[in-house]
Amino acid sequence: MEPIPLQHAPRVLIDEGSAPGYDFSSQVERRAFRMSVSVTRGIVCWLLVVAIPLSLLGQTPSAILHTQGGVWVNGYEARDSSAVFTGDLVETKPGFSASLSLEGSTVLIQPESVAKLQDNMLVLDHGGVSVTTSRSYKVRVNCLTVVPVSNDWTQYDVADVNATAQVAARKGDVYVERETDHRKPAPETAAPSREGTVHEGEQRSYDESELCGAPPRPTGAGPALNSKWIIAGAAGIGILVCVFACRPGPGPISASKP
């Protein structure tokens, strides 16, 4: 009986016909692409982080609005402890009042009033306000501006009803200034204007038609798109872009799964 010759096992892998190769140039290109995308994402994210806070500079609230309802800001109903900014228009409905808290000043806005915030000043369109201030906070009605005489604690009331401005000094003296550019020419026989100092405990009335003329004025707070809302929207979009742009890319590509 002749011996059976031994057969050598095949050197070819069972599941593959040949050993896998490694495309070095392709892997280098892929890694370089991933690196460039990562660097671009990082630059975009840092630019957004820097740009968004810079866009919000200069938007410090002018005051904090306190209300129990029935108060509108720029045509939209306001909530209690809302931030208001320079240029915002505040309107109180019948039976509702509002309070503005500023640095060194408090302003109570009476019901059925419309007023606009300006730098260190409240422009009263109509209605009434009560001011308590140690920072010479002013109230303007048409061409008349009520200014505390000193920086001591001063309390005064201003009302604008039927084209008549009424000023009452409760604590301290106030001075009523008039912008001469808006003054209506008066005949020589007209009585002299009564602007000047309103002493503590006094109350005076001023005819706006005589002193200022009758320029057209807004009657209410219509819907308006304030610049701060535009900036806030842009900031929100920037944050969303950053969230999607800054997400880490896919994991490293393996040699067996390119």
Range of the domain at 152: 63-219
| CATH at residue 81 | 2.60.120
215 and 114 inside one domain: yes
DSSP conformation letters of 169-229: EEES-EEEEE-GGGPPP--TTSPPP--SEE-TT-EEEEEHHHHH-------S------HHH
Domain contains 13: no
The tokens 């500023």 sit on which residue?
A: 102
Domain count, the chain: 2
pTM score over 0.85:
no
pLDDT above 50: residue 27: yes
pLDDT above 90: residue 206: yes
Domain contains 10: no
pLDDT above 60: residue 187: no
Domain contains 255: no
Domain contains 227: no
148 and 199 inside one domain: yes
Between 176 and 241, the more confident residue is 176
Phi, psi of 208 (to 5 degrees): -70, -35
32 and 118 inside one domain: no
206 and 92 inside one domain: yes
122 and 30 inside one domain: no
Domain contains 164: yes
Q: Kindly report which listed range (37-41, 51-55, 103-107, 188-192) carries the lowest average pLDDT score.
A: 188-192
In whole angstroms, give the CA distance from residue 20 to residue 203. Answer: 99
Domain contains 144: yes
49 and 89 inside one domain: no
Domain contains 104: yes
189 and 70 inside one domain: yes
87 and 132 inside one domain: yes
Q: Using alpha carbons, select from 65, 77, 107, 71 the residue that is nearest to residue 91.
A: 71
